[in-house]
Amino acid sequence: MSFTVEEIARRLNGRVEGNGALEVKGVESLDQARPFELSFLGNPRYSPAMKTTKAGVVLVSEAWTGETQATLIRVKSADAAFAQVAFWLARPAITHKPGIHPTAVVAADALLGRDVTVGPHCVIESGAVIGSGTVLVAQVYIGHSCEVGENCLFYPHVTLREYTRTGNRVILQNGAVIGSDGFGYVKEAGHWKKIPQVGIVVLEDDVEIGANTTIDRARFGETRIGKGTKLDNLIQVAHNVTIGEDTALAAQVGIAGSAHIGSRVQFGGQVGVGGHLHIGDDTVVMAQSGVSKNVPSASIMFGSPAAPALEAKKLHATVMRLPEMKKKLSEMEARLKAVEEKQ
């Protein structure tokens, strides 16, 4: 599939600067794009790449100024527009034919809604309920008495342990494990004794969980992920954690038990949050930060231990200057010693 630049601009309500008749056959990054491909400039700091890109056409903001040989389409948001174009030019979507594959194992008392797809080697245990239109691609395990909503999509090797509940339109990427036992032990006579983890996990509507991410069942009560929240790959969510609505957590985040993460929160990669802490709504925690105390709403945090970003960056800048400061101090001590020796 392909579109001309003029067709793309019309669909995006954008403005063309350059060759509107150019045919676009794909999308790519600025440094990898070829003359028949479209790219975008989402962050002004990558503007130098505009001088060297071989892309035939680039989406830019209405306000961008700079040098480039590429045809431009000016739009309100280059990021959002690029996502739309990528979707239009994508390979055909994979469709799944409803039905139960012969190799699947489905308990006699499991309840499946209309047009459910159960792929090869899936297992659905006793008492499970699967909503209409849901797709289990292959090798998915649905534990005893789980409740899965409508129009969900679970990719291969997903595991839902017993009593887990999901809302509608939930997406679980490959290898996600929902409802494994929380890390609960007590030491008795020098040995670790397991504390039963008798709670559940609840994923609300429109949640998406990345590949090989794990969400532990609660020790009691619920571990809950709020509506519209998105978790990246390789994230660990411990028992009794609650995460609000429309929150986004990047890869390798770790959240300790009973922490509460608010709504519309954003975590960069490898953020760590201590147990029983409260992160307020609309907070941003920058990558590799370690949160060791409660964070008020609408904060921007950075560092380990995490502190307000402006304060943390000033501290970091000072620390980076320590070798220079040490050298200057040594020179001052040497001069002082020389003056004292002359007296």
Residues ≥6 apart with Cβ < 8 Å to 263: 226, 244, 245, 246, 247, 281, 282
CB 87 within 8 A of CB 105: no
Pairing of strands 248-249, 222-225: unpaired
Residue 112's DSSP bridge partners are 130
**Dihedral sign, Cα of residue 313, residue 319, residue 324, residue 328:** positive
CA distance 267 to 278: 14
CA distance 293 to 305: 9
CA distances from 250 to 23, 211, 286, 287 (A): 35, 12, 10, 9
Q: Which residues are catalytic?
A: 239
CA distance 236 to 252: 7
Give me 147's structure tokens.
């409740």
CB 218 within 8 A of CB 199: yes
